Every structure is written in structure tokens, then in C-alpha cells.
Amino acid sequence: MDDKVVTYRMAIEEIESILKKIENQDLDVDDLGTKLKRVNELVRICKKKLHQAEKEVEKILGEMEP
């Protein structure tokens, strides 16, 4: 999935789903590495989106100052 297509909410939901499978031991050992790589990718996407949102907020707040 492309970063631009994955929303923050979608990424969080997918991370939660994967973690739930790991916690419930519903994940095959053969898939564990792949899923952990996916979680890492999703966390990176979330961090990027949060950083972008922070920059936008700072910009707006800066424009509001007299």
C-alpha cells in the first residue's frame, strides 16, 4: 500500500489487528517476520503523518500571531 493511500486511522487499525493476532497466537510463525515488517512500515507512516500535521498546526499558529 502506498503511503498516500493509507490514512492514519487505517494504519492504526491494521497495527492493532496484527498485534491482536500476535497476542492471541493466531499468527503463523512463518508470517511473523512479514507482519512485523508491515507494522514497522505502518508506524513509519503514522510518524510521518503526525509530523506533517504538527508542521501544519505550527504554520497556522504562526500565521495567527500578530
Is 45 inside a domain boundary? yes
Number of domains in the chain: 1
pTM: 0.80
Is 25 inside a domain boundary? yes
Is 2 inside a domain boundary? no
Is 47 inside a domain boundary? yes
Q: Which three cell numbers stand for residue 50?
A: 503526525
Is 52 inside a domain boundary? yes
Q: Which three cell numbers stand for residue 1?
A: 500500500
Note down the domain range covering 39. Answer: 8-64
Q: Which three cell numbers stand for residue 15?
A: 497495527
What's 13's domain CATH number? Answer: 1.10.287
pLDDT band at 65 (very low <50, low <70, confident <90, very high): confident
What are the pLDDT digits (tens) for 21-59?
A: 999 999 888 899 999 999 999 999 999 999 999 999 999
Is 44 inside a domain boundary? yes
**Which spans in the chain are helix H?**
8-23, 29-64
| Amino acid identity, position 66 | P
Cα–Cα distance for residue pair 38/33, rounded to 1 Å: 9
